[in-house]
Amino acid sequence: MHIPDGYLSPATCGTMYVVTAPFWVIAVKRVRKILNHRTVPALALLAAFTFILMMFNVPLPGGTTGHAVGGTMVAIVLGPWAAVLSVSVVLAIQAILFGDGGLTTLGANCFNMAVVLPMVGYYIYKVISGNSEIDSKRRLVGAAVGSYFGLLAGALLTGLELGIQPLLFHAADGTPLYAPYALNIAIPVMAIGHLAIAGPVEAIVTGLVFLYLQRSHSTLLSRQAVQRSEGKLWLIWSGALVLLAFATPLGLLAAGTAWAEWGAEELQELLGYIPRGLQSMSDIWHAPLPDYTIPGTGDVAGYIISAVIGIIAVGFLLWLLGRWISRKGSVKQGSSTSGVSKA
């Protein structure tokens, strides 16, 4: 689902940044109300979890690969606006450090995976769960079904954005300048792979995490303040993330490249040419650790080290962002209270 640099025209990239930016602004304002020194660690750790989850590639029909995202789970625990921020930060770090996705296409990737995916997943969860108890099976079903359709919605939007490129942006002879496959190919390919495999994986992972939280840490699901006794929970989760990092090489077992994430050489083999606009834009940014590789290490070691670096980068950046937002909210609330008392 990551769209690399060069697969969308500059006009499309600019439009998607404009469309996504208001969601980022609103998210900062909304998240300010729920973040404090006890919930900021949850934001950081859940974001790190989504980063790790996206490293576990699964094989899709046609020899390509896909992955789960985990955005609906973040939305259920901390709210959809917190998911907008956390998944956006994850996507930015993936693009900047590892070349997974692109900087020009970051607005589109964030809209698909950080806005639409968790919003759709969360509100489906809310409709299904209704006013049921936190430990009810309805909530578990809602979490699984919501995450499934949230991922599918994000995938369909990705297919739409890629599929309109050859229709709108092509050379005089009709040769596509950016993403080469039209809507009649892009949407079915994205739909089938995520309907049949990536969606069920997302639903299973979300369901298992939700079930664990239901049984062990239900206060997180009810948005209650995290108790002091649960402070050790963050240490346990941090250790679990490190263990998951050592398991990420399992994602290397899925052979093939994710659909529409091919490099120039792969496109040359597939099409017999490289779209002109794509070729000029694909070199805009050279990630320091492309494709989760570390110079001087093998594939497995490089993937594990990249996972650890990603966990640290995502967790630390979200922790800083969360502390900044929560402090800004406290200052604003204090100023408001002061103004009322003076009156």
Distances (CA, A) of 111 to 24, 104, 116, 224: 10, 13, 6, 29
Q: Is 143 part of any domain?
A: yes
User: What confidence score (pLDDT) does residue 129 get?
Assistant: 95
Q: What does the pLDDT look like over 259-293, one tens digit per residue? A: 888 888 888 988 999 999 888 888 888 999 999 99
How far apart CA 49 and CA 99 sit, in angstroms, is 19
How far apart CA 283 and CA 255 sit, in angstroms, is 25
Q: What does the pLDDT look like over 46-66, one tens digit per residue? A: 899 999 999 998 888 777 888
Q: Is 213 part of any domain?
A: yes
Low-confidence ranges of the chain (pLDDT < 70): 37-38, 223-235, 328-343
Q: Is 3 part of any domain?
A: no
How far apart CA 73 and CA 55 sit, in angstroms, is 17
**Bridge partners (DSSP) listed for residue 64:** 60
Q: Is 2 part of any domain?
A: no
Which stretches does DSSP call E strand in the chain? Answer: 58-60, 64-66
Distances (CA, A) of 119 to 90, 107, 153: 17, 16, 10
Other C-beta atoms within 10 Å of 182: how many?
Answer: 15
Q: Is 261 part of any domain?
A: yes
Q: Is 191 part of any domain?
A: yes
Structural domain of 40: 10-342
User: What confidence score (pLDDT) does residue 1 get?
Assistant: 86
CATH value at residue 337: 1.10.1760.20
How far apart CA 305 and CA 297 sit, in angstroms, is 9
Q: Is 291 part of any domain?
A: yes
Q: What angle do CA 280, 282, 283 make, to 5 degrees?
A: 85
How far apart CA 196 and CA 266 sit, in angstroms, is 25
Q: Is 139 part of any domain?
A: yes
Task: Domain count for the chain, please give it.
Answer: 1
